[in-house]
Amino acid sequence: MNLSVNTFYELSEIQYSFIARKFISMPVLEQSLKPFNTLQIEHSCTHLLHAKSKEELTQYCLELYRSEKPFMLLGGGSNIVLTDDFQGTVIRVESKGVLKTEDQDFYYLDVQAGENWHELVESSLLMSIQGLENLALIPGTVGASPIQNIGAYGVELKDVCDWVEYLDLASGELIRLNAVDCDFSYRESIFKKALKSKAVITAVGFKIRKLWLPVLTYGPLKAFDKETVTAKQVFDCICQLRNEKLPDPTVLGNAGSFFKNPVIAKAQFMKLKEEFEHAVGFTINDEEVKVAAGWLIDNLGLKGYTVGGASVHEEQALVLVNLGKATGSDVVQLAKHIIGSVKHAYDIKLEVEPRIIGANGEKELLDD
């Protein structure tokens, strides 16, 4: 076994042979992933490991990577579509721990990847840290939050992120990347591009200004007076809005917004407005407009449109739901129908948000 020297997580021979025995020669046990994905798709994996600490997470990943065994990471399973039984090991990221420090102007949080995102938002408020409240009730783990730069109600992870620590699979080193180097943009980051399949996020650092500036730019939040509003009021309002707008995945399986809001040229948006005066868009800059994908789908009368057991949510066109027995393939076929319809009607290309996972790992929607 070729173990590199001087790496942070180098394994001793004893550790290595213990782990090797444990995982390489493990009997194949089909493990259902239904409880671990919010779309509630019934598919399985060959082995399921629960990484309860950063050390376990790095050891499991390095071991499998170095022995060239297929594996994938799973947080809360709220941003994946399983289209087949995964032929490999799934490592659930369950490492816990939050460390708080501060200086005169900022609070700093050092949070392990397996912490639940919403619980972090809640506990930050209890610690009198204000700034995460707009991101309340987003499902999933802290470790997955930088991957698509989660965002809601005018705030994105990039606004509060200080650094991201990841395990570089090739070298076995833990690397801390400053937020500016994470290449964050709308639902994008370096972890979906140059570092895709190369990095395991182990912890995220937050830097939150003590002088709180509420973000009240969206919908009902505008009704608050910025001089008197509290972070708890914003938090409560957002929880209420989300509970009203989005189906609860424990009741009706879903992966949140299925499509990104497409960004188009202002001239194209003006043409769209001429044809459909109610088209919804948000100006990004002098040249571009972000169009509400939900409106594009709703306007085609696709709410309630069903393929097999998968359907466009009756109230929220951006959300695809599992009516009970949907397969991943139903969800993919439904998504393809929507993409085709939107392209045909408006000449706008929709992109999917969740990751499509097949037997051999992540794949493109069109591969299915």
Ligand X SMILES: Cc1cc2nc3c(=O)[nH]c(=O)nc-3n(C[C@H](O)[C@H](O)[C@H](O)COP(=O)(O)OP(=O)(O)OC[C@H]3O[C@@H](n4cnc5c(N)ncnc54)[C@H](O)[C@@H]3O)c2cc1C
Nearer to ligand X, 176 or 343 (CB): 176
Question: How far is residue 367's CA from residue 76's CA, in Å, rounded to a whole number?
Answer: 25
Site residue total, ligand X (CB under 6 A) = 32
Question: Using CB under 6 A, which of the segments 42-50, 66-74, 227-235, 328-336 binds ligand X?
Answer: 66-74
- The residues near 100 (Cβ < 8 Å, ≥ 6 apart) are 107, 108, 109, 127, 129
Report in angstroms how near the CB of residue 141 gets to ligand X at its nearest.
4
187 is catalytic: yes
320 interacts with ligand X by CB under 6 A: no
Give yes or no for a contact between 291 and 343, defined as CB atoms under 8 angstroms apart: no
121 interacts with ligand X by CB under 6 A: no
List the one residue from 134, 148, 311, 327 that touches ligand X (CB under 6 A). Answer: 148
Report in angstroms how near the CB of residue 36 gets to ligand X at its nearest.
8
172 interacts with ligand X by CB under 6 A: no
User: Among the options 187, 188, 242, 329, which is catalytic?
Assistant: 187
List the one residue from 131, 205, 256, 358 that touches ligand X (CB under 6 A). Answer: 256
Question: How far is residue 167's CA from residue 117's CA, in Å, rounded to a whole number?
Answer: 20
Report in angstroms how near the CB of residue 131 gets to ligand X at its nearest.
16
Question: Using CB under 6 A, which of the segments 100-108, 121-129, 150-158, 295-303 binds ligand X?
Answer: 150-158
Question: How far is residue 70's CA from residue 87's CA, in Å, rounded to a whole number?
Answer: 7
Binding characters for ligand X, 29-58, by CB under 6 A (x = yes): ---------x--------------------
Give yes or no for a contact between 37 and 82, defined as CB atoms under 8 angstroms apart: yes
Report in angstroms how near the CB of residue 200 gets to ligand X at its nearest.
5
Cβ burial, residue 101 (10 Å; 0-12/13-18/19+): exposed
Report in angstroms how near the CB of residue 114 gets to ligand X at its nearest.
8
Identify which of 75, 73, 54 has the alpha carbon closest to the alpha carbon of residue 9: 54
What is the Cβ-side half-sphere exposure of residue 282, based on CA atoms within 13 angstroms? 12
Give yes or no for a contact between 39 and 139, defined as CB atoms under 8 angstroms apart: no
Nearer to ligand X, 37 or 327 (CB): 37
Binding residues among 123-142 for ligand X as defined by CB under 6 A: 138-141
Nearer to ligand X, 60 or 346 (CB): 60
Tokens 């990751």 belong to residue: 355
Q: What are phi and psi of 245, to 5 degrees?
A: -85, -35
List the one residue from 11, 33, 64, 73 that touches ligand X (CB under 6 A). Answer: 73
Q: Which two tokens stand for residue 131?
A: 């700034």
| Angstrom distances, CA of residue 357 to CA of 41, 75, 208, 241, 255 | 11, 14, 35, 30, 13
Give yes or no for a contact between 281 and 306, defined as CB atoms under 8 angstroms apart: no
Give yes or no for a contact between 219 and 241, defined as CB atoms under 8 angstroms apart: yes
Report in angstroms how near the CB of residue 91 gets to ligand X at its nearest.
9
List the one residue from 51, 129, 144, 334 that touches ligand X (CB under 6 A). Answer: 144
205 interacts with ligand X by CB under 6 A: no
208 interacts with ligand X by CB under 6 A: no
Report in angstroms how near the CB of residue 70 gets to ligand X at its nearest.
12
User: Among the options 95, 124, 189, 257, which is catalytic?
Assistant: 257
3-state secondary structure of 132: coil
Q: What residues are labeled active site? A: 187, 257, 353
The residues that touch ligand X, with contacts defined as CB under 6 A, are 38, 72-80, 93, 113, 138-141, 143-145, 147-148, 150-152, 200-201, 246, 249, 254-256, 355
